[in-house]
Every structure is written in C-alpha cells, then in structure tokens.
Amino acid sequence: MKQRKAGDSAPVPAIEVDPDLSSPELYLNREINWLEFNARVLACAMQKKVPLLEQLKFLTIFYTNLDEFFMVRVANVYRQYRAGTPASGPDRMSPARQLAEIRRRVIGLTALAQEHWRKKVLPKLQEKGLTIRRYEELSEKQRQFLAEYFTNEIYPVLTPQAIDPGHPFPTISNVSLNFIVQLRGQDGEVHFARLRCPGNVPRLIFVPRGKEEKAFITLGLSAHMRDTDILLMEDLIEEHLPELFPGFTVVSAGLFRITRNTDVEIEEDEADDLLEAVKDLVDQRRFGDVVRLETAHGMPVELSEFLIKKLGLKPFQIYRVKGPLAFANLMALYAADRPKLKITPRPGRMPAPFLEGNIYARLRRGDCLLHHPYDSFVPVLDFIQKSAEDPRVVAIKQTLYRVGNNSPIVRSLIEARRRGKQVTAVVELKARFDEERNITWAEELEKAGVNVVYGLVGMKIHAKLCLVVRREEGGVHCYAHIGTGNYNASTAKIYTDMGMLTADADICADVTDLFNVMTGYACRRQFRRLLVSPDSMRSGLLDLIRQEIALHQEHGDGAIVLKCNQLVDKGIIRELYEASRAGVRVHLLVRGICCLRPGISGISDNITVTSIVGRFLEHARVYWFRSGGEGRMYIGSADLMPRNLDRRVEVLMPVLDPEIRRFIRNRVLELQMRDNMQSWKMEPDGSYVRTKPAEGEPAINAQLMLLEETPVENIDGKENDI
C-alpha cells in the first residue's frame, strides 16, 4: 500500500500513443487495482483517530473483501492460467503475471493487517476490558468450566474423519475452519485425520472470571465484559483433541482453511427450471476448485505438505496466517455494549416532502430525492407500504436484488397481494452470495400469490425499480421509485445511495415498458427518458461524452463529473481520454476499481480520480455533464463495467428538476471533490495518495458534513468549476 504525502507526484509514465488509444499502458489491471481499493479499506482500520471497535470492523471488512476476491476474481484468473489462456484484458497482463502480483500484494497487505491486529487492536481491546485469551492463559477454574462446556455443547457436534486408503481425503467445504491432525497408533504407525470446526456453534466463547458465575455467555456480549475473558472456539477444540482420538497419541495439529471457486456458471438456456438450477449452483459453489489454502502460522511442515499434496496445490496458492483464521467472524465482537469504542449512530433525516400526508399529491407537484443514509430509508418503505394499503392502488411492480433478512419490502408486497392488488416481483436469483436468501423470498412471495419472475436468460436484472399504479380522478396514474442501491433497509444505513420518487409521465411509461420487457416478450431498444442496458445505456453515455467534447470545442468550459463504484470498461475509458485530449475537464469519483490512468501528459492530464473510503460505503452512481451550462445528470444502478453495460438490465434516469440537479452537483459532487479528510487521489502509476488539508486550508470531510448539514464555503447554489 503506497502512501506518499499529498503534493508528492508519482512519475508520469512515457506512453507511445496509438491513434485509437489502445496501448496496454493506458489501462490498469482490474485485479491489481482492486487490491489498491482494499488497501484503502485497511488504511481506515489503521487510523489512530478511528474508535477501536470501528478499527475491528474495518479489519473484518478487509478480510471479507479478500475472501470474495479469491472466490471470484482470483478463481477466474487461475482458471485462465490453467487453461493457458493468453492475456485478454486491455492491459494485456498475462494470468501468470497477475497471479504472481496478486500474491505479492496480498502477502504485504495481510502482513500489515495481522500486525495491526496483534500489536495495536488486540492489546487496546484488553485495556478496555475486551480480552481475548489463549487457553493456557486461563485460570484453573475457567478451564474446569470450559471442560464441562466442551463435553456438553461441542463434543457431540464434532465428527473426526480418518484419512487412509479406506477413508479417502474428505471434501473440504469452502471457507470452513478445519484441523489437520497427525496421530500415532499404539503400534507406532502414523495416521492423519481431519476435524471440521462446527459452523453452528458460536466462534467466541465468553468465560466469566467471577467465582460465583455458573454459566458461559455464548450467545451474546455482556455489558460487563471486564469480568469476562474471550476464547476462540478452535483453541478449546485443540486443547481437547486427545478426547476425540482415544487409543492414539496426537503428535501435532494445525488449523487450516481453503477458499474455493464460487464463480460457477449456470447453463440457463439448458435449464428447464431456473429456480432449481440456482439451487444446484449454491450446492456446487461449496465444493468448487480450490483457489487458496490458508494455514495457521505455526503449522508443522509435514502437515502443510500433506495438505498441499492431497489438495494438489501450487506454491503460490499457499498463505500462512499470523492471527485468527476466518478473521471476518470476529465482527461478532462489534456487538459489545461499548458505545465509547464506536462511532455514535445517527438516524437519517426525514425530508420535508415526506412529512406531508399525501405522498401521491406531493409527487404530482414534482420529483422528490432521497440521499441515504443522510435521509432515512423509511420514506421508501412507507411509500411501498402505503401503496399496499391504499384502496386506490391497483398494481405494484418491484425489482428485488438484495433485500436482506426480515425484509419489510417483501412483507408489504405480500400485504398488497392479500388486499387483492396485482403484484409482480422480479427476483434476481443470481445475485451473487444472496442466492439462497432470494430463493427463500421468491418461494414466500409465490405462496402469497405474487406473480414472481426470475429474470432473463443470460443476464442479471440489477435495476432498482418500483412502480405503483393508482386509479384516481381523471384516470389511472403511475408513480415510480428509481434508486442507485438495493431495497435493503439494513444496508441503507451504511451505504450512500440516492433514490428518486417521481410521477413524471414519460419516466413512469418507460418503467412500465421495462417491466413488460423483464416479465414478457416485449422488445425495446430505446426509451423515452431512461438509459437502459444492455441496449441504450452504453451508446447513451458515449453520446453524452461526445456531445460534451463538441460543445467544449464550440464554447469552451467543457466538464464531466462521473461518480461510480467501478470504472473498467475500455470503450468508456477511451472516450474519456478523448474528452481530456480535447480539453474537457473530467473528474472521476470512483470508490473501487478504476482502470483509467489520470495525469498522463497529452492523454489524461485533464482527468483527476478521487476515491472516498470512510464511515459509509460510497455506492451511488451519478453522471453529470456541463452540457453548455444547462447541466445534464443521470443517476442509477449501473457502474461503468462491461457487465453493467452489456450483460445486465440496468437503468439510469435523468434528473429533470433543476433544484435537485443543483443540490446533487453542488452539495454532493462538489463537496466530495473537495474532500481532504477521507479521500485518496490516484496517481498516473495507479497508486493512491491520501489527501490532507494544506496549510491554512479548512478540513473537509464530505460524509460528516453531509450528515451534519454543515454549510461549506463557496457552495453557493451555482454550478462551480471543478
């Protein structure tokens, strides 16, 4: 993780420019750039001013991200490596080189994370009374309690598995915690066994120190943690391994974990039942090809060599871990009742338009913007719930991608159907890692009589749409909600997203037509107002960039601001290079992967790239073009990646209200471009530099200022220069 002081410039690479801007040097590798993003997440965990349990949270996010990276992205590169596939990305980096560079960077990042945990977070947690102990550090009284707990609660669940000619090496499920155990029989012969740590037993065991205590706290966190020690379940199991192998001597044991390829494809065109096909996919994912083996740092060499041989792994797939394996599970500790060790939560505001009694009458007067989590997600839930209850509403249509557990949206749709309304739910079963949950919701909705549609063959439906059809005086009227994020009340508290409620006739007609495309046999290439992938979004965005170039050449002052999660698509990047070469100023607010190189003389010297990684996960997509001073803006669900533009159903809607457009442009985008507290600037070599206030410059934390509605100097309602 490269961190230079703000103002230090990275060397600008000398690049020979092809006429069509196809030089590999112009495009960063997406996997390596993703690791730069995860490095920024880790940097958040390592900030001294971040409360202690927030540091723990960022560490768990770092490790969760890394797990998914190996399960999907590294698995794909490894598949290409084994197949001998030549370099295929715009950067032309070979799979072998990618794997080598990924390993080098991951080892460096995890070393930083492990050191921060062991030397900083763990000791400070102990100072605050949240003490994680090793078994040998516990008192004799605590060990007696633990022996009883092991016998009654854990031992019956464990299933040791012998490994010998009669018992082949067992199939190890993805990201499970396991012991490999070396044993010696009474005849002196050496044996091996595998033991899985149960996934349905709490990882953290809370052991009271008090003499009067009779029980363990295993399902929650006590408010009085100063009188309690915490033991990891695997430490207790390791201590009691001999009890699982009577008649044998435990010679050595080591903890390990494997990561498998979860990017299993469905042959949708050959599947008679998509629901059953996705159920099969979830089962297959648990036992895909092994991509990574993690072993505890102290594992004896003979044990690791045994595993490597049995799993058929290459040396670059092996990672030794100092610290707890499956670190993401330690997020359970965040639930401790220690508010001083966390950031104080703040409920979202209730915007004035939603304090009125009749939301439909308000929407007929104009559009309403919600900016989460600064604005509460409750108005979205209320809009759908009131529509479910309103006797004038005749139909509700909704897309569902990741809705979470105990979804109030699903309950509202079921209630609407119970009241006799026509209800359609387009449930995306192929939402990665949410398939099982979405299958459950789909079956629940179908039982209630909701018309459930499972998407389209060959592409995911990622658009965030809700359409309400209401019979009123003068005829039937439609109302729509279009968002940048999922209909998930939990993530709406930690993801920054935007949603627009509108009664605009053209937009509602477009949403109606799009639902017909998703549920029936309708075919539409163009819509009245919306940009919709896979048909009109790519061409629409390219046209907007080209129009900005033309207007700049005629009038000057060309400017583009694009805010998204990922910028990968070569066609979009090439057009942004063309805009920069024409003199258009381009500011990219890209939280995650950005394959474009800014600041290259003669190519991208008019482009800046900023990444904000902070308290909230930046998730909104906003695309703004000066358009000769008029200002054109779109918000929606699509990132600038080939999959979003070509292989998904995505929607970008125009922001038609000038006041809303000015608010987003000046209050949100401008503020984030000026952030100097939690933002990072990309250098031409692809590295990132954390920004800091210059001497005499005010500190600007965009997320905090939006949360507190802090006025900002020069944010005056005019569309400022970038």
Distance CA 88, CA 248 (A): 53
Closest CA to 316 of 493, 103, 529: 103
Distance CA 566, CA 109 (A): 21
Distance CA 372, CA 72 (A): 29
Per-residue CA distances from 358 to 57, 361, 382, 386 (Å):
41, 5, 11, 10
- Chain position carrying tokens 């993401």: 328
Closest CA to 722 of 662, 666, 640, 681: 666
Distance CA 184, CA 191 (A): 6
Q: Which amino acid is at 190?
A: V
Question: Which residues are paired to 181 by β-bridges?
Answer: 193, 253
DSSP states along 52-103: HHHHHHHHHHHHHHHHHIIIIIIHHHHHHHHHTPPP-STT---HHHHHHHHH
- Chain position carrying tokens 């952030």: 675
**Cβ-Cβ contacts under 8 Å for 82 (sequence gap 6 or more):** none
Q: Which amino acid is at 148?
A: E
Closest CA to 692 of 678, 682, 707, 713: 678
Judged on CB neighbours under 10 Å (0-12, 13-18, 19+), 288 is middle
DSSP tag of 151? I
Closest CA to 637 of 493, 467, 481: 481
- Are 28 and 136 in contact, with CB atoms under 8 Å apart? no
Distance CA 328, CA 646 (A): 33
Q: Catalytic annotation on 371?
A: no
Q: Which residues of 434-565 form beta strands (DSSP E)?
A: 451-453, 460-461, 464-472, 475-483, 495-502, 531-533, 559-564
Helix (H) or strand (E) holding 578: helix 570-581
Helix (H) or strand (E) holding 231: strand 228-232
Helices 52-68 and 95-116: angle between axes, nearest 10 degrees: 160
Query: How far is Cα of residue 585 from the mean position of the Cα atoms in its chain?
Result: 30
Taking only Cα atoms into account, the Rg of the chain, rounded to an integer number of angstroms, comes to 28
Q: What are phi and psi of 526, to 5 degrees?
A: -135, 150
- Chain position carrying tokens 């500190």: 699
Q: What are phi and psi of 673, to 5 degrees?
A: -70, -25
Q: Residue 576 is encoded by which pair of tokens?
A: 């942004």
- Are 99 and 77 in contact, with CB atoms under 8 Å apart? yes
462, 477, 481, 587: the active-site residue = 462
Q: What are phi and psi of 391, to 5 degrees?
A: -65, -20
Closest CA to 624 of 537, 560, 543, 711: 560
| Residues noted as catalytic | 462
